[in-house]
Copies of this chain bind each other. A is one copy, B any other.
Amino acid sequence: MNKNLYLGIDLGGSEVKIAIVNGSGRIIEKTTFPNSYLSTPQDVVRRIIEKTEQMANLKNVCATGVGVAGDIDQENGIVRFSPNLKGWRNVKFKEMLERHLPKPVKIENDANAAALGALWLDGKGIFRNIVCVTLGTGIGGGLVFDCKIYHGATGTAGEIGHIPIDPYGRRCKCGSRGCVEAYLGANYLSEDAEKNRALMSSPVIQRLLKDGELRITPKIISEAANLGDKEARKIWDMYGERLGIILAGIVNLLNPELIVLAGGVSQAGSLILDPLKKTVEERAFKTPVKNCKIIISKHNKILGMVGAAFLNK
């Protein structure tokens, strides 16, 4: 029997996604189950076992990888803390899973796993140094250098969202000031939009609100922009410019070959990408910019699973 498949698990606060992946990153089989903030580690392990036991290809799996949001001790496979899972403190998750799932088991921060997924799926194995930026409630990031996840000293490298865009500006939840997340995180974006009179009085937004929308989410703002609303488009221009300022600094500092934008908000697509690229080109050094591709992931929903599967590749 040829054990040439990999099991990848994307452990989110509201859903757990599981895939069996082949050596090229193609998903052979997948499954999912709902999760909640209150699930204990034991609950989650039990459900993972139940689900994977039903997978026809499990017998051909040679290793398991899991991506979890939060502070992860990769070396020892411990979830030190997860903001999405209540009470998960120093959970020896690798040890718990190795009793039941194909070994070795590796545990990784979810943004790092996504970066590895982006390396293989979006980068197609052509690139060695990539930066993956996840745009959602938070602004996260993962760094892959020489095809390997870069962890830094304590495993927390990649916090792109907490580079300052305006050092004496707005307070950020992290305790610092002016972090890019405090401007571009989805909730901040919505709050700013709701305070923006010109936007709120625009006919397109008014119409979308009449249709029953309660909150000006990034999705609504991108719908409005795509329907031609100028005020909504201004918001994305500013989003792209601000993210572009941070990425220009990262292009100068890290000289990556590929920057991949992922996460829910990245689905605004060219609304973000156009002003972002313009800003990076204006601001970063010419040679590294010319040699850096910036794209939106075409595999957003599966990056986490495939990246987790490839932790052992």
Contact across chains for B176 and A282 when beta carbons are under 8 A apart: yes
Of residues 211 to 265 in A, which have CB atoms within 8 Å of B's CB atoms? 245, 248-250, 252-257
How far does the Cβ of A85 sit from chain B's closest Cβ, in whole Å?
18
Contact across chains for A153 and B283 when beta carbons are under 8 A apart: no
Contact across chains for B162 and A255 when beta carbons are under 8 A apart: no
CB of A160 within 8 A of chain B? Answer: yes
Bound-state CA distance A224–B167 (Å) is: 28
Contact across chains for B287 and A152 when beta carbons are under 8 A apart: no
**Contacts A164-B249, A166-B167, A245-B164 known; A256 to B129 CB distance under 8 Å?**
no
Contact across chains for B167 and A287 when beta carbons are under 8 A apart: no
Bound-state CA distance A176–B143 (Å) is: 25
Bound-state CA distance A160–B251 (Å) is: 10
Number of chain A residues whose Cβ lies closer than 8 Å to a Cβ of chain B: 44
Q: A156's contact among B151, B166, B283, B287, by CB below 8 Å, is which?
A: B287
CB of A188 within 8 A of chain B? Answer: no
CB of A201 within 8 A of chain B? Answer: no
One complex includes copies of this chain to the number of: 2
How far does the Cβ of A239 sit from chain B's closest Cβ, in whole Å?
14
Closest residue of chain B to A286 (Cβ to Cβ) is B175
Most central of A177, A252, A255 by chain B CB within 10 Å: A252
Closest residue of chain B to A257 (Cβ to Cβ) is B153
A287 / chain B contacts, CB cutoff of 8 Å: 71, 154, 156
How far does the Cβ of A107 sit from chain B's closest Cβ, in whole Å?
17
Bound-state CA distance A154–B128 (Å) is: 12
Residues 269-289 of chain A: 1 if any B CB is under 8 Å from the residue's CB, otherwise 0? 000000000000011110110
Q: A285's contact among B151, B159, B167, by CB below 8 Å, is which?
A: B159
Known: A157-B253, A167-B245. 17 other contacts (CB 8 A): A129-B152, A143-B253, A145-B145, A145-B150, A150-B254, A151-B255, A153-B291, A154-B255, A154-B288, A154-B291, A156-B285, A159-B252, A159-B253, A160-B253, A162-B249, A162-B284, A253-B253
